[in-house]
Amino acid sequence: MTPEWVSAISSAVCGFGTLAAVLVAFFQLRKLNKSVAFAGLANVIQLERDMCNSKEKLDEINNRIRTECHNNPDPAAIEILEDLRQCYLENWLNTVDRLAYCIIKKHLDDREWKVEYRPYINTVINSFPEEFGVNSIYTNTIDLHDKWKRS
C-alpha cells in the first residue's frame, strides 16, 4: 500500500467516525429537547395544581365566612376569617401571577396557553378589580391580560 492509499483510508475512517458522532449527538439532542418539553408540561401541571388548591382554600374560607355570618355574627371571629380569606386570596393570585410570568417570559408558549387561560385571567381580573388597580403587585397578570386583550 502506498502512503496515499493509507492516507485516503484513514481519512475515510475518520470521516465515518465523525459522521457517526454527529448522528449520535443529533439523536441525543432530540431526546433532550423532548425531555425539556415534558419538563415544561410538568411545570404547568404543578402550577395548575397550585392554582386549584389555592382557589379551593379561598372558596372554603368564603363558605365558612358566610356560615359564620349566618349562624353566629361575632365580629371578632368574622374579622379573623376575613384576614385568613385575604391570605388565601393573595396565595391564589400569586400563583396566577406566576403562570402569567412563565407565559410572558416565554417559558411557556403563548399561543398554546392563550386559548385555555385567556378566559380564566379575564375572570380573575374582573372578579377582583380592587386587587388589580394601579398599585397592584400582580403586574404579570395585568400585563398578560392587556397583551391578550390587544390580540
CB 133 within 8 A of CB 90: no
Cα separation, 99 vs 127, whole angstroms: 18
Please report the pLDDT score of residue 1 as a whole number.
Answer: 67
- Locate 107 and state its grid cell: 417559558
Cα separation, 91 vs 102, whole angstroms: 17
Give the three-class secondary structure for 76: helix
Q: Mean pLDDT over all residues of the chain?
A: 87
pTM score:
0.74
Q: Percentage of the chain with pLDDT > 70?
A: 95
Considering only CA atoms, which of 41, 11, 51, 15 is closest in space to residue 108?
41
The 10 Å CB-count burial string (b at 16+, else e) for 88-103 is bbebbbbbbbbbbbbb
Alpha helices in 72-131 (DSSP H): 75-104, 110-127
Please report the pLDDT score of residue 36 as a whole number.
Answer: 67
CB neighbours (10 Å) of residue 57?
17
Cα separation, 42 vs 64, whole angstroms: 33
Please report the pLDDT score of residue 28 as a whole number.
Answer: 80
Amino acid making up residue 7: S
CB neighbours (10 Å) of residue 54?
19
Give the three-class secondary structure for 77: helix
Q: How confident is the model at residue 37 (pLDDT cuts 50, 70, 90)?
A: low
Cα separation, 51 vs 30, whole angstroms: 32
- Give tens-digit pLDDT for 49-73: 999 999 999 999 999 999 988 887 7
- Give tens-digit pLDDT for 88-135: 999 999 999 999 999 999 888 888 889 989 999 999 999 999 999 999
- For range 20-47, the mean pLDDT: 76
Please report the pLDDT score of residue 6 as a whole number.
Answer: 73
